[in-house]
Amino acid sequence: MTNVYFIGAGPGDPDLITVKGKRLVKEADIIIYAGSLVPKAVIDDHKEGAEIYNSAGMSLDEVIDVMKAGVKEGKMIARVHTGDPSIFGAHREQMDILEDLNITYEVIPGVSSFVASAAALKKEFTLPSISQTVICTRMEGRTPVPEKEKLRLLASHQASMAIFLSVGMIDGVVEELLTHYDIKTPVAVVQRASWPDQKIVIGTLETISDKVKEAEITKTAQILVGHFLGDEYEFSKLYDPSFTHEYRKAKC
């Protein structure tokens, strides 16, 4: 029997949690959700009598104590994280502790904010002749990044880039990116992707800092960088009538 489920709640829109995640939230006896980032509407369908904890004001030890007590009583626990828990989700340390305690758990993936942001912009990260790589990263701040993953080094690839947790340092982000990207490189900033108050700012490395400040965006935003945001690209060969693959022969 699985005792704890780590569930990706998606980027904000309650309809973007997976069917499995929604079902488990409804079945859970105890729900611990990241209330600073997960809208309460995601857990509003909980069953009557379910215990609800907002982890925004809890320490790791306090979260684990709730889990241990619940498991001891034979209860099912839904630990609800924003987006997908595997990307800046801070759930690894929880899982390791549960391993040590011999508590079984399962991870249910979710829709990350970086793909929700691309959807909001109606863009595709991987375009033929433009980019076939997406780099998900963050600017170094209170949390350090490995030396080889400094933003200016990653920028050398000039790939499509999704930068998390960094909009409050937008000037520094731009400075780092300009070591390799052209000043006219397209940039989009999406705050609270998929939420009712979603905000989108579009510019270039030359203009984006001023636009972000003018829009008063200081947190909870994705910075997307790269020419995938433009309109020039080659069509995919997948549906090209002259291209043969396993399921279709070329027609010309």
Q: What is the pLDDT of residue 79?
A: 98
Residues 6+ apart with CB under 8 A from 190: 113, 116, 117, 120, 121, 198, 199, 200, 221, 222, 224
Is the Cα dihedral 204, 210, 214, 218 positive or negative?
positive
The encoded tokens of residue 78 equal 């839904």
* Segment 164-188, tens digit of pLDDT: 999 999 999 999 999 999 999 999 9
Distance CA 238, CA 82 (A): 33
Neighbours of 32 (CB within 10 A): 26
Strands 221-225 and 160-164: antiparallel
Mean pLDDT for the chain overall: 93
Distance CA 132, CA 155 (A): 15
Distance CA 245, CA 193 (A): 36
Domains by residue range for the chain, with CATH: 4-108 (3.40.1010.10), 113-229 (3.30.950.10)
- Overall size of the chain counted in residues: 252
Distance CA 210, CA 183 (A): 14
Distance CA 94, CA 141 (A): 23
Q: What is the pLDDT of residue 2?
A: 83
Give the chain's largest Cα–Cα span: 67
Regions in the chain scoring below 50 on pLDDT:
none
Of the candidates 162, 139, 151, 149, the residue with the CA atom closest to the CA atom of residue 228:
162
Asked if residue 206 lies in contact with residue 184, where contact means CB atoms within 8 angstroms, the answer is yes
Q: What is the pLDDT of residue 252?
A: 64
